[in-house]
Amino acid sequence: MLGIQVSPLEEFRYHSKEENLCLEFYIKRDDLIHPIVSGNKWRKLKYSIAKAEQNKNEAILTFGGALSNHLVATAAACKEVGLKSIGYVRGEELNEHSNPTLQQCAELGMELHFITREEYNLKNEKFYTDELHIEHPNVYIVPEGGANYYGIIGCSEIIGELPEDVSDIFVSAGTGTTAAGLLMGSRAHQTIHIVSALKGEWMEEEVKKLLMYSLFDEEAVDELMQRAHFIYDAHCGGYAKTNPELIEFIQKVYQQTGVKLDPVYTGKSMLWIKHNWKQCSPTGRLVFLHTGGVQGATFMQEKLAVNLYPES
């Protein structure tokens, strides 16, 4: 099983004289867990890997887009524990040289299969995964983004690493798995602020589905969902879209605090906190969960033609 260390909880302080603003809260540094399998990737994968080892599977097979942090993390984690990794990638036009993410997957030993968007949409259908099991006997299949029961359980453990007086936790959401885990582990007095990285207002439905799938108890799920606050206006124009304000904020945060945020998830969530800081009134400690993604951000710098982490 992948080993895990307890990530530090640090004080975070960011100020802006021009805006007459000083953000002060705590940051749970899951980004420091591992250089590649960082943040929620480690949390979401560790029990799936343990399960594959227990089953004596020879590989983990999973899915992702062209810039998937999850694919790279799976490749790295599998390599570390001596499992093979197989990645099904959305886009038959791609290959292992298309971008640094796919290149790194290949370098880490991942066997890559490039499939059409139509085929990719079948990834959660039973008949399709049955076919994959025939094609690749003895693999353990992990859904896109590590969004399975084990992923939720892994993320639920974050709560136990936080002091009891934490009242508010901010988390970035893509599949909603990390958020579902936090809700599952949460204490009754806590609010989990779930910041969607995607345009559209369906994250609540996704998180509820993931919890139902894990708990099979509507009453318990409804109770947990009351601890959730969904934020839909942080996406800066859509998934992986950026704007100059976001880039400048990420740069300033790095220069002032040394914390690297990424432009797809954590940067947008923290920018939302900045915009809404005056309305944030936690009854206890406010914690920002750093879900990692910095290795993906390093690749994005090239595409964006900016240095996200300039020295001051």
Ligand X SMILES: Cc1ncc(COP(=O)(O)O)c(C=O)c1O
65 is a site residue for ligand X (CB under 6 A): no
- Structure tokens of 145? 């983004």
CA 189 to chain centre: 24
Q: State how far the Cα of 90 lies from the Cα of 116, in Å rounded to an integer.
A: 6
| Counts of helices then strands in the chain (DSSP H, E) | 12, 10
Q: Does 193 bind ligand X (CB under 6 A)?
A: no
Q: Which listed residue (74, 148, 156, 175) binds ligand X by CB under 6 A?
A: 175
Which of 62, 85, 148, 178 lies at the binding interface for ligand X (CB under 6 A)?
178
By the rule CB under 6 A, 40 interacts with ligand X: yes
Residue with tokens 């980004």: 31
Quick check: 177 binds ligand X (CB under 6 A)? yes
Rank residues 87 and 174 by Cβ distance to ligand X and give the closer one.
174
- Please tell me whether residue 145 binds ligand X under the rule CB under 6 A: yes
Q: Does 196 sit near ligand X (CB under 6 A)?
A: no
- Please, are residues 290 and 183 in contact by the beta-carbon 8 Å criterion? no
What DSSP string runs through 234-283?
A: -STTSTT---HHHHHHHHHHHHHH-----TTTHHHHHHHHHHTGGG---S
Of 57 and 196, nearer to ligand X (C-beta) is: 196
Q: How far apart are CA 280 and CA 21, in angstroms?
A: 13
Closest distance between ligand X and the C-beta of residue 134, in Å?
Answer: 29
293 binds ligand X (CB under 6 A): yes
Site for ligand X in 92-131 (CB under 6 A): none
176 lies in the site for ligand X, by CB under 6 A:
yes
From 123-131, 212-220, 247-255, 287-295, span contacting ligand X (CB under 6 A): 287-295
Residue nearest to ligand X (CB): 293
Q: Which stretch binds ligand X (CB under 6 A): 79-87, 168-176, 225-233, 280-288?
A: 168-176
Alpha-carbon span 99 to 66, nearest angstrom: 8
Rounded distance, CA 177 to CA 143, Å? 11
Number of residues binding to ligand X, judged by CB under 6 A: 19
Q: For residues 38 and 57, which CB has a smaller minimum distance to ligand X in the complex?
A: 38
Q: What minimum distance in Å lies between the beta carbon of 272 and ligand X?
A: 14
* 154 touches ligand X by CB under 6 A: no
Alpha carbon distances (Å) from 50 to 46, 78, 120:
6, 11, 26
Token digits of residue 66: 């062209």
- Binding residues for ligand X, rule: CB under 6 A, are 39-40, 69-70, 145, 172-179, 262, 265-266, 291-293
